[in-house]
Amino acid sequence: MSKFGRECSDECALGSNSERNVYLDARREWNERYGSHVAWARALFVLALAAVFVAGGAVVALYAVARQNRVVPYVVEVDKLGAPLAVKRADEAAPADRRVIRAHLARLVECVRTVLQDPYAERALIEEAYGAINRNSAARGTLNDYFRERSPFRRLETELVSVVVRSVLPLTGETWRVEWDETVRSRDGRVLAAETWQGTFTVVVSPPTDEATVLKNPLGIYVSSFAWAKRL
């Protein structure tokens, strides 16, 4: 190859290398200009994803805490004029006063055995009675059977029943005996029967933990079992 040919080849090679360097420099400048934006966008995506997980965890934690909220009932003791004497938490209170249990059982008997002329008032009595019964006990089944066999809504079509509780006495720590008189009248007021009944009731105390239960049974006194019979 001649000297001129070698010089031409060297110049062409230099030109080719110079042109290649120009493209590499342009690519390097492009990467430096936009590569930081890509990295920043990726970092923002990761940060946003982490924020979503943190927010989701916070929502779950708040929901769990909200479900643990409890209604704390208080027992207020009053005198004959209604003035408060003592206030204490029901879930930390001593066993229910015997006078309160007596009143509770007397009211339960009245709600279950009374038959009123007004079906709406009768329904209110039945709902109050179920509020005093332990729903997971034998008492609930016994009460269901009684209302099924002697439906007060069928009875009020022909007769009415009034109840007067005579005594509520303790037998043991949890069992009580109740005696009451029942007067059965026709809808025009004629006396059809006058009977005396006696029953035994087992009582448990379970302080309420939610607002709905507080409204139905604020003291948490429930009957877990009962049985009654007519006195001869």
Report helix angle 98-113 to 119-131, nearest 10. 140
pLDDT reported for residue 200: 96
Q: What is the pLDDT of residues 46-56, one digit of tens each?
A: 788 888 888 88
Helices (H), 114-210: 119-131, 138-149, 152-155
Instruction: With a cut of 70, list the residues of the chain below it in pLDDT.
Output: 1-40, 65-96
What pLDDT shows up at residue 13?
A: 45
Q: Kindly report the three-state secondary structure assignment for every residue of 26-87.
A: HHHHHHHHHHHHHHHHHHHHHHHHHHHHHHHHHHHHHHHHHHCCCCCCEEEEECCCCCEEEE
Q: Does domain 96-230 have CATH number 3.50.30.30?
A: no
- Predicted pLDDT of residue 4: 43
